[in-house]
Amino acid sequence: MNRKALHRREVLRLLSVAGASLPFMPALPAMATPSQSKDNPARLVWLQLRGGMDGLGAIPPYGEGRLKRLRPTLAQETTGEDALIPLDGLFGLHHRLPTFADLYRDKELIIAPAVGSPYRGRSHFDGQKILENGTTLASTPVGWLNRTLSSTAANTALAVSPAVPLVLSGPARVNNWSPSRLPGTNDDLLKRLEWLYRNDTQLSKRLQEATETEGMVDSEAANARIRRNRVLPKELVRQAARFLAAPDGPNILTLEAGGWDTHSGQGAGRGRLANQLAALDNAIAILRDTLAAQWNNIVVVITSEFGRTVKENGTNGTDHGTGGALFLAGGAVNGGRIVGDWPGLGSNDLYQGRDLYPATDTRAILKGVLHDHLAVAEGKLHDQIFPDSKNIKAMGGLIKPS
């Protein structure tokens, strides 16, 4: 297959206006020195968008003339009330991502517009499993972030969701929290339950995790009405931020958001996708504002199991695709850049003639973040944490040198 990557980059340099460039993947520096201070340890947030977020909607490559033709009702305008936010001559941001635009300008956002896991099917469930377990097989029941915990000493993790997601599942212990509207329970009952569950491996473990986490919750916040049907409700994100900010709190946290599977009525400047992006943008703003003191040592990784079809479908939506978007946001991010090759939208550039080609393996970016931000040894990246991935080089330069 003849990837026209080089040609694309030449074209982009000519179009580039605001100075955003697409560097080649720089080689990993021999000794990465991540910033790890006791007062402000390196923190990582994994924000997983379930359902296949449309990367071309979040990061519209408006510089590609054919976009309008491929997406007559979904391509965003470049002028008018709902105009996209241009970044360079090729890429823009959806106008409901103003915080992302601010972060980009402040050099605290990296955008990767064409990434993918090794998964090449189009099932949400298998796609998510492979994104989360960091392998090439959906059946692996342990997540790469759990293996990261097993391979390192100083990290602790919390899943802010009703159940521990696969990315954090595995032998390494993690905590789990989500808000409750039920009345609290008393200590005596909990003590007796501990005794009752002593011979039961599953229940005793879960009870211990539950009681540890409850101890860290701000009860007022937890009792505040958290609207269940909302994507990334404000109070939930605020509480997640508080967990991260707590002095003995976790330094790794996962969040998730659904509602991205826009098969119909996706909308352009307005509509389903726009509303989802607005909620995502708001969540990042809350993290940034609540974690002001810790923000300069935080990386938030935002991605989805795959992107969506390049052409819109018969119901003003898009179907499951392959290449998609990934964002790195945070004060520790070496941002204001777009990384990875851009394969283009020409019919010969697409994967199977319908999807954006995943030019960068998601694991390359994750390895770069783990190495440079969390000081994970390079050797561990290529076989323990992401098994059988020696051919995937870690992408360097993603994190600000300390």
Partner 1 sequence: MISDKTFIAATRFGFGEPPSSLQEIGTHYGDWLSQQLQPHPLPKELAGIPDSATLLMENFAMRKQRRMDRKANKAVKPFGNLLRKHYIQQAAARTRQAMVSERPLFERLVQFWSNHFAISVDKPQVLSIAGCYENEAIRPYILGSFKNLLLAVVSHPAMLVYLDNWTSIGPNSQMGRRRKKGLNENLAREILELHTLGVDGGYQQADVIALAKALTGWTVGGVRPQAGGKPGQFHFLNNAHQPGAVTVLGKAYAQHRAKQGVTILEDLARHPATAQFIGEKLYRHFISEQPDPVAVEKLKQAFLENEGDLMAVYQVLLNLKQAWQPIAHKFKTPNELVISTYRSLQLSAPQDRQLVGLIDQLGQPLFRPGSPAGWPERNSHWDGGSLLMKRIEWIDSLSDRVSRSVDPSALAEGLLGPQLSKRTRSAVKRAESASQSLALLLLSPEFQRR
For 266, what's the count of Cα atoms within 13 Å in the CB-facing half-sphere?
Answer: 32
Of 50 and 367, which has the nearer Cβ to partner 1?
A: 50
Among 11, 20, 83, 210, binds partner 1 (CB under 8 A): 210
Smallest separation, CB 395 to partner 1 (Å): 30
Alpha-carbon span 217 to 213, nearest angstrom = 7
Which tokens is 74 given? 């979904």
User: Measured between alpha carbons, how far is 44 from 299 in angstroms, rounded to an integer?
Assistant: 5
Stretch that binds partner 1, among 20-28, 56-64, 174-182, 297-305 (CB under 8 A): 174-182
CB 43, CB 251: distance < 8 Å:
yes
Residue 314 interacts with partner 1 (CB under 8 A)? yes
The residues pairing with 45 across neighbouring beta strands, listed in sequence order, are 253, 300
Q: Closest separation between CB of residue 305 and partner 1, Å? A: 12
To partner 1, the closest distance from the beta carbon of 189 in angstroms equals 6
Quick check: 181 binds partner 1 (CB under 8 A)? yes
- Any contact of residue 228 with partner 1 (CB under 8 A)? yes
Residues 100-129 vs partner 1: string with x where CB under 8 A?
A: ---------------------xxxxxx---
Q: Name which position in 17, 18, 189, 293 contacts partner 1 (CB under 8 A).
A: 189
Torsion over CA of 146, 255, 300 and 209, rounded to 10 degrees? -50
| 322 versus 362: smaller Cβ distance to partner 1 | 322
Q: Under a CB-based contact definition with an 8 Å cutoff, are residues 359 and 115 in contact?
A: yes
CA atoms within 13 A on the CB side of 354: 13
CA distance 300 to 94: 19
If one asks whether residue 183 binds partner 1 (CB under 8 A), the answer comes out as yes
Q: Say whether 286 sits in a helix, a strand or coil.
A: helix
199 near partner 1, judged by CB under 8 A: yes
Single out the residue of 132, 179, 176 nearest to residue 158, CA to CA: 176
Query: In the range 124-163, which residues lie near partner 1 by CB under 8 A?
Result: 124-126, 138, 159, 162-163
Task: Give the shortest CB-171-to-partner 1 separation in angstroms.
Answer: 13
What DSSP letter does each residue of 213-264 carry, written as one string? HHTT--HHHHHS---TTSSS-HHHHHHHHHHHHSTTS-SEEEEEE-----SS
Closest to partner 1 by CB, 213 or 294: 213
> What six digits make up the tokens of 271?
């509509």
Q: Which one among 108, 235, 305, 319 touches partner 1, defined by CB under 8 A?
A: 319
* Residue carrying structure tokens 């709190």: 249
Binding site for partner 1 (CB under 8 A): 121-126, 138, 159, 162-164, 169, 175-178, 180-186, 188-190, 192-193, 195-200, 202-203, 206-207, 209-214, 228-229, 258-259, 263-264, 313-315, 317, 319-320, 352
